[in-house]
Every structure is written in structure tokens, then in C-alpha cells.
């Protein structure tokens, strides 16, 4: 996969301040405030920075966490897992494989059959409805 590389100025032009804070500075949005946490439409969720397909609405579920949660990605190779030791804990950070955007975190408390919960910031995503 070819990487998308932009300067910090280019990222700031492309992204809103909130999208930049979350995807380029590994921030997070407050629960129950993001544009997609309660979205029930059918479609795909893309990376806001490079439009790589990340999740399909068929794998989205209500985790009660206040963030969009998915049980599996469209393709494993579209995500990079990295250890995040911030906030005095060890978590698995999820990063876009194409543009290195911080997306959210992966937890092992999701529904069967995967048992996984990809907890993703709405501001890291762009939703495209199915036609």
C-alpha cells in the first residue's frame, strides 16, 4: 500500500481542527458527542485523512461507550496496531495503514464471533452511505 505523506500545514488545510487534533495528535473526542456514534445508516467508514476503507456498517454495534464501535475491519491490512502507554495504561492503538492517522483503540470486550471492539473516534472517520 502506498503511503499518503503530507506536511503538517497540508494536514491542517485538509482537516478540521478537531479532526487534526484527533488524527495527527492522537487525541480523543468526548463520548456521545461524535457525528457517528449513533449513526445507523448502511455504508462504509473511511479514514478522514486518506479515504482508505476501514469499516462497514454491518460490523458496527452499540457498545454503550459513546464512540463508534466495530467488531471487525473491512481488511486487517488497512489498520496498524501499536502499543499505547499513555494515561498510565497499556492499550492497543489503531492507526490508518495508509496515512498514519490515529483512529482509536482496540479492546477485547466486543461481541462474538470476534470478541473485539474497535473503538474509533468519529472525527477520524468519513461515512459514505451505500447506494
Q: Which residues are catalytic?
A: 119
Task: Give the burial class of 58: count Cβ atoms within 10 A of its Cβ; 0-12 exposed, 13-18 middle, 19 or more buried.
Answer: middle
DSSP, collapsed to helix, strand or coil, labels residue 57 as helix
| Residues 54 and 73: beta-carbon distance below 8 Å | yes
| Residues 81 and 97: beta-carbon distance below 8 Å | no
| Residues 25 and 112: beta-carbon distance below 8 Å | no
Amino acid at each position: 500500500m502506498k503511503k499518503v505523506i503530507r506536511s503538517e500545514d497540508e494536514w491542517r488545510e485538509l482537516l478540521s481542527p478537531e479532526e487534526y487534533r484527533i488524527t495527527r495528535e492522537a487525541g480523543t473526542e468526548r463520548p456521545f458527542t461524535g457525528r457517528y456514534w449513533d449513526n445507523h445508516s448502511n455504508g462504509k467508514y473511511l479514514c478522514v485523512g486518506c479515504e482508505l476503507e476501514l469499516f462497514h456498517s454491518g460490523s458496527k454495534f452499540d457498545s454503550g461507550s459513546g464512540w463508534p464501535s466495530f467488531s471487525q475491519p473491512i481488511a486487517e491490512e488497512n489498520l496498524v496496531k501499536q502499543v499505547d502507554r499513555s494515561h498510565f495504561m497499556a492499550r492497543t492503538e489503531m492507526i490508518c495503514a495508509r496515512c498514519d492517522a490515529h483512529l482509536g483503540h482496540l479492546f477485547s470486550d466486543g461481541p462474538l464471533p470476534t470478541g473485539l471492539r474497535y473503538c474509533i473516534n468519529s472525527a477520524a472517520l468519513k461515512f459514505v452511505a451505500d447506494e
